[in-house]
Copies of this chain bind each other. A is one copy, B any other.
Amino acid sequence: MAGKVFFSVSMSLDGFIAPESHAVGVRAMESFSAPEERSTDPDVQRWMTQWMQLQQWIFPQRFFRENLNLGEGGEEGRDNDIARETFERTGASVMGKRMFDLGEKSWPREAPFHTPVFVVTNDKRDPWQRPGGTTFHFVNDGIEPALDQARQAAGDRDVRIAGGAATILQYLNAGLIDEFSITLSPVLFGSGTRLFQGVDADRVALQPLRAEPSPRVTHLTYTVRQR
């Protein structure tokens, strides 16, 4: 029996999953991975501050620290369980080229997926194998072939559409998402990349599945039905 197709993102209360703008984000991630050259550009600093606020629920979690080899210890409450469950259900991921470009600058050598990852891109490139079990495959013929390959690779486990927003929306509007989770963070961005920009609202209907508040955030899960 095949797994589900899902996405799981952290979102600001005003609907953004990344600060303004992608170009600034690329510079922020370069700065992040080379702290000795940390940028003093106010745009880069603002981007990184908002990003840290959005994601701050996950940094203290034991699972997050283990998965990125940041050391022992960490919190073990429901936030930690949810982070771990999201990882463990995922047999393969799909991402867009922009997310890959951003991640390539910021993931550690041992990239945090530990499964096959299918990158939807026009770039022709051989599979890129990282230590720890992550292999990036570059798929040049669109979102459906990428998903087919991910399903194949995932076996009984689920396929995660990792991002970014534009890629998630393509899958959502195409009716290819079974369910999704949003970790709603108590922060307002004012601008940035909106998760649901361009959603086909006449087509996508939601059914609430779970809502789990934690002291830091609210974890919301919905199933998707096509109208």
Interface residues, chain A, CB within 8 Å of chain B?
Answer: 13-15, 50, 182, 184, 186-191, 194-196, 198-202, 204-208, 210-213, 215-218, 220, 222
Contact = CB atoms under 8 A, between A and B. Distances in A.
Please give the count of copies of this chain that the complex contains.
2
B189 A208 contact: no
A14 B211 contact: no
Contact of A211 (B188, B194, B211): B211
A216 B211 CA distance: 10
The A interface is mostly helix, strand or loop, or mixed, namely loop
Contact of A13 (B182, B190, B202, B217): B182
Which of A182, A200, A213, A216 has most chain B Cβ within 10 Å?
A213
Nearest to A215: B208
Given A13-B182, A14-B196, A204 B188 contact: yes
- Of A182, A199, A207, A208, chain B has the most CB atoms within 10 Å of the CB of A208
A194 B222 CA distance: 21
